[in-house]
Amino acid sequence: MRHIPRKRFGQNFLVDPQVVANIIQAIHPQKNDRLVEIGPGLGALTLPLLLLLDHLYVVELDRDLVEQLRQKTPKDKLTVFSADALKFDFSALGANLRVIGNLPYNISTPLLFHLSKYAASIHDMHFMLQKEVVDRMIALPSSHDYGRLTVMLQYSFEMEQVCVVSPESFQPAPKVESAIVRMLPFRQPDHVANNEKVFAHVVSSAFSQRRKTLRNSLSACLKPADFAAIDIDPGQRAENLSVAQFVAIANYVDGIRSAIPNPFQS
């Protein structure tokens, strides 16, 4: 049965066998891995993975594709969850998960944030994403691509670009280049936020108006003396700070919350 790609699901199906082979080589799956594929689509990765694994879990939103997958794969080898990955509880699948997928570009950022919540249950992740998103994920401080997404993901993961994939490798072909990224959760991070909600709020506030200096963007929670106390120049912009510096700010703000009930309100 021919499946017509649906724009509302952001469907661009991988059709290049060489790219499939490159992804599988990058993943290097072992037969007893607890591997989860997000958005298996027509099974370009799913079917070859089933030849290498004892069992595979997949999460697919499109019910038509769910039915097709169930019809052409053995039940004892594949578990199909007909669900929205943005709402899926990945921790329910156990520990040491290996997560892969050709992620829909229209939900890639919120899905990456969602998956970050399960970092403790994840061994590694390999995703096909819009290259622009991967550039932002692996960016360095003081670069054009460095932003909120960078800091939030680099707090939890070590990341690297594996390879670039041309639009012609998909059907229908997207208008942009794609890239495969490898994400490894930090087991013993160098810098730990005492309160991750405060950390997220600080990062979001700092990048909300990225052309403003920290003196202005974080004025609701830090005064001039506070910047001096944590040895951070308030004349810098958010893009100039390392992840460690954002953690230092968040931990300082969290430390003064007992004296100021809501430090984010001026």
Amino acid in position 88: F
Are 159 and 49 within one domain? yes
Instruction: Confirm whether 191 is domain-assigned.
Output: no
Residue 123 has what pLDDT? 97
Are 148 and 171 within one domain? yes
Instruction: Confirm whether 266 is domain-assigned.
Output: no
Are 172 and 102 within one domain? yes
Instruction: Confirm whether 40 is domain-assigned.
Output: yes
The token pair at 230 is 């944590």
- The conformational region for residue 231 under phi > 0 = left, psi -120 to 50 = alpha, else beta, is left
Residue 266 has what pLDDT? 40
Please name the residue that has the structure tokens 């099974």.
43
CATH code of the domain containing 213: 1.10.8.100
Tens digits of residue pLDDT in 215-240: 999 999 999 999 999 999 999 999 99
Q: In what order do the strands lie in the sheet with 97-102?
A: 78-82, 56-60, 34-38, 97-102, 122-130, 178-185, 157-165
**Residue among 74, 87, 71, 75 nearest 3 (CA):** 71
* Separation of alpha carbons 52 and 54, rounded Å: 7
Are 246 and 168 within one domain? no
Q: Is 176 helix (H, G, I), strand (E, B) or coil?
A: coil
Are 47 and 110 within one domain? yes
Residue 264 has what pLDDT? 52
Instruction: Confirm whether 37 is domain-assigned.
Output: yes
Are 201 and 176 within one domain? no
The token pair at 163 is 């390879």
Q: What is the pLDDT along the chain (266 residues), one digit of tens a residue?
A: 454 444 444 457 788 999 999 999 999 999 999 999 999 888 889 999 999 999 999 999 888 888 888 888 777 899 999 999 999 999 999 999 999 998 888 889 999 999 999 999 999 999 999 999 999 999 999 999 999 999 999 999 999 999 999 989 887 777 889 999 999 999 888 899 999 999 999 999 999 988 899 999 999 999 999 999 999 999 999 999 999 999 999 999 999 865 555 555 54
Are 92 and 149 within one domain? yes
Are 214 and 101 within one domain? no
Residue 11 has what pLDDT? 53
Are 101 and 162 within one domain? yes
The token pair at 94 is 């156990």
Last residue of a domain, one of 144, 159, 185: 185
Evaluate whether 116 touches 91 at the Cβ level (below 8 Å). no
Please name the residue that has the structure tokens 């951070």.
232
Amino acid in position 95: A
Are 32 and 111 within one domain? yes
Structural domains of the chain, count: 2
Residue 9 has what pLDDT? 45
The token pair at 180 is 């495969």
Range 137-144, long-range pairs (CB < 8 A, 24+ positions): 137/112, 137/181, 138/181, 141/239, 141/240, 141/241, 141/242, 142/239, 142/240, 143/239
Q: 50-74: buried (b, 16+ CB within 10 Å) or exposed (e) per residue? A: beebeebbbbbbbeebbebbeeebe
Are 175 and 218 within one domain? no
Residue 171 has what pLDDT? 76
Provide the residue range defining the domain that includes 247: 196-255
DSSP 215: H
Instruction: Confirm whether 264 is domain-assigned.
Output: no
Last residue of a domain, one of 185, 213, 240: 185
Q: Is 118 helix (H, G, I), strand (E, B) or coil?
A: coil
Are 203 and 141 within one domain? no
Evaluate whether 53 touches 36 at the Cβ level (below 8 Å). no
* Separation of alpha carbons 165 and 129, rounded Å: 9
